């Protein structure tokens, strides 16, 4: 891992994002809009708003990073720039880490802005620390990024990449305890959910919101998943075609 190449890679990805003000605006405005809608949807049941909105703070960064990572890497593949990089001294790990750092920083800003808005404007109450919530949101974002990177190999077009969201991400979301607590699900689904990274991300988010239980274990498991998914992603970057 060469620090100059890594920072060049990170800077380039951020620069591309910077040149795309519409995407930037959507990154912040759409979660804020959705949170506002939730607030009024649950107007008659504020307790439910507290429960759902808190979890959504973890869901947004993940969905967004999944989408922008899979589209961005697919664009690198289809425009030929990925091949251009593969014949340069840039390492695969540097390529992936560059994206992870750039999008991780983006989700740091996003999570800070959206959680602040939810807490100060919409009156969301979190028992834990906001900074812990932001930390968990970044982990969620990195999971989205890692899955997006891994699936972009199996997509030939941006159309297909987008389709992986309902195919890969939404089932995980349904099983993650967002709808009902995981323990209340049938045994077989509970066992299945134990093998999905999102379950731990949502567990951690809920623990911060209610300030009950330590997120240390969840964090560790998420890091394990990240290491696994990111190295799978780096294996799919081939320097040579068959």
Partner 1 sequence: MSAAIRAINLNVQRGKSHILHDLTVEIPRGVIMGLLGPSGSGKTTLMRSIVGLQRIASGEIQVLDLPAATKPLRSKIGYSTQSASVYSDLTCIQNIRYFASLYPQNEKSPEQILEDVDLSRNADQMADSLSGGERARLALATTLVGTPELLILDEPTVGLDPVLRVQLWALFNKLAAQGKTLLVSSHVMDEADTCHQLILLREGRVLAQGTPSELRARTGKSRMDEVFISLIGAA
| Cβ–Cβ < 8 Å for 230, 146 | yes
- Cβ proximity to partner 1, 30 vs 83, nearer residue: 83
- Taking the C-alpha atoms of residue 131 and residue 133, their distance in angstroms, rounded to an integer, is 5
Minimum distance, C-beta of residue 4 to partner 1, in the bound complex (Å)? 7
4 binds partner 1 (CB under 8 A): yes
- Taking the C-alpha atoms of residue 122 and residue 118, their distance in angstroms, rounded to an integer, is 5
Tokens of 72: 């961005």
Minimum distance, C-beta of residue 11 to partner 1, in the bound complex (Å)? 8
92 binds partner 1 (CB under 8 A): no
44 binds partner 1 (CB under 8 A): no
Tokens of 116: 């602040």
Give the number of other CB atoms < 10 A from CB of residue 196. Answer: 17
Match 């297909």 to its residue by tokens.
Answer: 160
- Cβ proximity to partner 1, 187 vs 239, nearer residue: 239
Minimum distance, C-beta of residue 22 to partner 1, in the bound complex (Å)? 12
- Cβ proximity to partner 1, 90 vs 113, nearer residue: 90
- Taking contact as CB under 8 A, which single stretch among the options 86-94, 99-107, 188-196, 199-207 is the one that binds partner 1? 86-94
Question: Which residues touch 147 (CB under 8 Å, ≥6 apart)?
Answer: 66, 168, 169, 197, 229
240 binds partner 1 (CB under 8 A): yes
- Cβ proximity to partner 1, 91 vs 171, nearer residue: 91
Q: What is the DSSP letter of 57?
A: H
157 binds partner 1 (CB under 8 A): no
- Taking the C-alpha atoms of residue 117 and residue 122, their distance in angstroms, rounded to an integer, is 7
Tokens of 188: 């077989």
CA neighbor of 103 nearest in space, from 9, 218, 173, 168: 9
| Sign of the CA dihedral with 168 first, then 204, 207, and 110 last | negative
5 binds partner 1 (CB under 8 A): yes
CA neighbor of 95 nearest in space, from 157, 6, 169, 227: 6
Q: Which of 14, 86, 105, 122 binds partner 1 (CB under 8 A)?
A: 86
Site string for partner 1, 8-27 (x = CB under 8 A): xx-xx--xx--xx-------
- Taking contact as CB under 8 A, which single stretch among the options 87-95, 107-115, 174-182, 213-221 is the one that binds partner 1? 87-95
What element of type H or E holds 85?
helix 81-86
- Cβ proximity to partner 1, 131 vs 235, nearer residue: 235
Q: Which of 1, 3, 87, 188 binds partner 1 (CB under 8 A)?
A: 87
> Which residues sit at the interface with partner 1, rule CB under 8 A?
4-5, 8-9, 11-12, 15-16, 19-20, 79-81, 83-90, 239-242
């Amino acid at each position: 891992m060469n620090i100059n190449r890594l920072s060049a890679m990170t800077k380039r990805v951020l620069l591309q994002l910077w040149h795309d003000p519409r995407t930037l605006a959507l990154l912040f405005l759409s979660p804020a809009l959705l949170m506002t809608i939730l607030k009024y949807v649950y107007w008659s049941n504020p307790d439910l708003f507290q429960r759902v909105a808190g979890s959504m703070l973890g869901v947004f960064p993940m969905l967004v990073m999944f989408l922008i990572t899979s589209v961005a890497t697919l664009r690198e593949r289809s425009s030929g720039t990925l091949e251009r990089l593969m014949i340069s001294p840039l390492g695969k790990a540097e390529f992936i880490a560059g994206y992870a750092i750039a999008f991780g920083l983006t989700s740091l800003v996003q999570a800070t802005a959206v959680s602040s808005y939810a807490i100060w404007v919409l009156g969301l109450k979190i028992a834990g620390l906001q900074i812990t919530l932001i930390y968990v949101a970044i982990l969620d974002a990195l999971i989205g990024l890692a899955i997006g990177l891994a699936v972009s190999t199996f997509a030939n077009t941006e159309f297909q990449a987008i389709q992986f969201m309902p195919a890969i991400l939404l089932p995980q979301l349904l099983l993650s305890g967002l709808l009902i607590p995981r323990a209340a699900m049938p045994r077989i689904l509970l066992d299945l959910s134990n093998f999905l990274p999102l379950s731990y991300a949502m567990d951690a988010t809920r623990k911060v919101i209610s300030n009950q239980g330590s997120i240390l274990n969840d964090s560790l498991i998420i890091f394990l998943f990240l290491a696994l998914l990111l190295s799978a992603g780096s294996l799919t970057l081939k320097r040579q075609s068959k």
